[in-house]
């Protein structure tokens, strides 16, 4: 599935999200408008390290971030491995890989638009208070 949000193109593997593609598109539109903070869609999580990282990302609340190191510590892994798994996330936005940042930078983002899209998503979620997510350190 291809969607455009804030002028950025994002591809999601809708085969991993239960429900009708039109329902997911509607939920993504509501998210972009600020009317939705979570998605009502079950995601098929792979039984792999990437799946473990995806579960950790799903646990990050809207408007908050975690570092690659935080998730690595939770999974008894290494931050680089977590970053690589984030880059393999087949359903960005629904599984919020944008909420995972570096200890002193935004880190990377594999979706089209790269770090610019990641920053747009985090800014959207932080609303008028960049300190809410600790994003003030990156501006």
For 48-59, write each residue's pLDDT tens digit: 999 999 999 999
pLDDT of 68 over the 60 cut: yes
* Overall fold of domain 2-138: Arc Repressor Mutant, subunit A (1.10.10)
**Annotated catalytic residue: which of 12, 54, 97, 135?**
97
* Strand-strand pairing, 8-11 and 2-5: antiparallel
Active site residue 97: yes
Tens digit of each residue's pLDDT (9 = 90 or more) over 107-119:
988 888 889 999 9
pLDDT for residue 28 is more than 90: yes
Name the phi and psi angles at 9, rounded to 5.
-85, 135
- For residues 110 and 131, give the distance between their C-alpha atoms in angstroms, rounded to a whole number: 25
According to the model, what pLDDT value does residue 38 have? 93
Written as six digits, the tokens of 87 are: 């880059």
């Amino acid at each position: 599935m291809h969607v455009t949000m804030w002028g950025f193109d994002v591809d999601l593997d809708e085969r991993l999200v239960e429900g009708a593609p039109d329902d997911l598109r509607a939920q993504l539109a509501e998210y972009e408008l600020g009317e939705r903070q979570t998605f009502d869609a079950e995601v098929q999580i792979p039984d792999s390290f990437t799946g473990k990282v995806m579960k950790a990302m799903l646990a990050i609340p809207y408007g908050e971030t975690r570092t690659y190191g935080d998730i690595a510590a939770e999974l008894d892994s290494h931050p680089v491995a977590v970053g690589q798994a984030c880059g393999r996330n087949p359903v960005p936005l629904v599984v919020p890989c944008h909420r995972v940042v570096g200890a002193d930078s935004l880190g990377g983002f594999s979706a089209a638009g790269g770090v610019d899209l990641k920053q747009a998503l985090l800014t959207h979620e932080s609303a008028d208070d960049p300190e809410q997510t600790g994003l003030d350190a990156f501006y």
